[in-house]
Amino acid sequence: MTSVPLISVFNVDDSLKVTDKHIPLPAVFSAPIRPDIVHFVHSNIAKNRRQAHAVHPQAGMQHSAESWGTGRAVARIPRVAGSGTHRSGQAAFGNMVRKGRMFAPIKVWRRWHRRVNIKQKRHAAASAVAATGIVPLLLARGHRISQVPNIPLVVEDRLESYEKTKDAVAFLKRFGAFEDVQKVISSKVIRAGVGKARNKKYRVRKGPLIVYFNENAKLTQAFRNVPGVEVVNVNRLNLLQLAPGSQLGRFVIWTQSAFAQLDKLFGTYRYTSVLKDGYQLLRPLVSNADIAKIINSNEVQEKVRQAKVHQSRHDVQKKNPLKNSKALDVLNPAAKLARAAARAENEKNRKTQKKIKKDKALKKASRKHFGTIQKNLNDASTRAIEEEKDIKVKYFQVQRSAADAPEK
């Protein structure tokens, strides 16, 4: 909530000049920010612009189809009659089939509009107005207000006499608000979905909102062609414009008379509203939002009990016997002996396995050595046989040559 006692009124022709008039901050700017109420009211009143629409009553039902019944190993959905075409035998009517109707076809007598309580709408509007004076909310909403001289921005009533768009653009540039308009221009994109074929092809962001007082003001004609800029009479403040999309923090430019009218419109915490019968501003849940400061204040700390130190939450922490061996020994004294026996058995098995592995290694080495010796013996015997064979061959050759010599 804003807590500035007096708001300066700026000269329309110069953003650096402040007039002699100062307006007390309206009480509505001290109203609590209630996004829950704003979201509920916005989501309901936004439905009141909807037009009734429906699908054709006979859509998806204009088929000559009948179920085949049971016993044919197919679903009992109605099927198109006839033969000789692809269409015959295809399912019909159901919402899950091709060329079938939709589930729960939309009718024009659907409950399109919503009624919202008047007090809820007034609380939501007051909360949205209060949010327009909080700079972080404006920045979080995406408005470009780094060059704006003051928030909330209040200017002279001469703004209501503007008729030309060039004068309106020059005014926005003087007060640093045209940067927000440029953001709107650069944000223009083609809408996703079928909405682009329903007279809303483009989607753009929101720019400044001009709030005026005089019913016959001419500024509506001057600002109507500036992208993103909207104008509204202070007596017809609309939540859809103050918090588009139920997002609080719209950048608002007030005229002097419109700003002074807010106390009559919403009332104060002392008096009820003049224009809204019996309306009283919603009071904040806490007057000071700094909870840490409240807790640490002397008044609260005097009544608060001193913090306890070195105090355990439990006398004995419960242990899980399945994971904690000591807890298991308490419940089962034989568990310790069982663990020792298991360890001894494991050690015995480990030694046995080690001996078995050693014996296997020795057997493998001996087999390998025996195989090497056997191979060497076989090679030696093979060589001896071959040598003996060579000697016999040479002997018979000598005998044959000696026998053939006398014949010559």
User: pLDDT digit string (tens) for 35-72?
Assistant: 999 999 999 999 999 999 999 999 999 999 999 999 99
* Mean pLDDT of the region 269-279: 92
Whether the per-residue pLDDT at 287 is higher than 90: the answer is no
pLDDT bucket at 4, cuts 50 / 70 / 90: low
* Mean pLDDT of the region 85-97: 95
pLDDT bucket at 407, cuts 50 / 70 / 90: low
Q: How far is residue 53's CA from residue 256's CA, in Å, rounded to a whole number?
A: 44
Which DSSP letter does residue 117 get? -
* Mean pLDDT of the region 181-198: 95
Contact 293, 307 (CB under 8 A): no
pLDDT of residue 408: 47
Whether the per-residue pLDDT at 349 is higher than 60: the answer is yes
- Residue 380, sorted as left (phi over 0), alpha (psi -120 to 50) or beta, turns out to be alpha
Strands 189-190 and 14-24: unpaired
SS3 11: strand
* Mean pLDDT of the region 361-365: 92
Query: Pick from 29, 254, 265: which is nearest to 150 by CA?
Result: 254
pLDDT of residue 3: 57
* Helix ranges, 320-333 (H): 325-331
Give the CA distances from residue 148 to residues 157, 174, 255, 271, in Å, rounded to whole numbers and listed in that order: 18, 9, 15, 33
Query: 79 has which bridge partners?
Result: 66, 91
Please tell me the pTM assigned to this model: 0.69
* Helix ranges, 32-97 (H): 35-45
pLDDT of residue 2: 55
Which DSSP letter does residue 278 get? T
In sequence order, the 6+-apart residues with CB closer than 8 A to the CB of 255 are: 154, 155, 156, 157, 159, 160, 210, 211, 212, 213
Lowest mean pLDDT among 260-264, 308-312, 369-373: 308-312
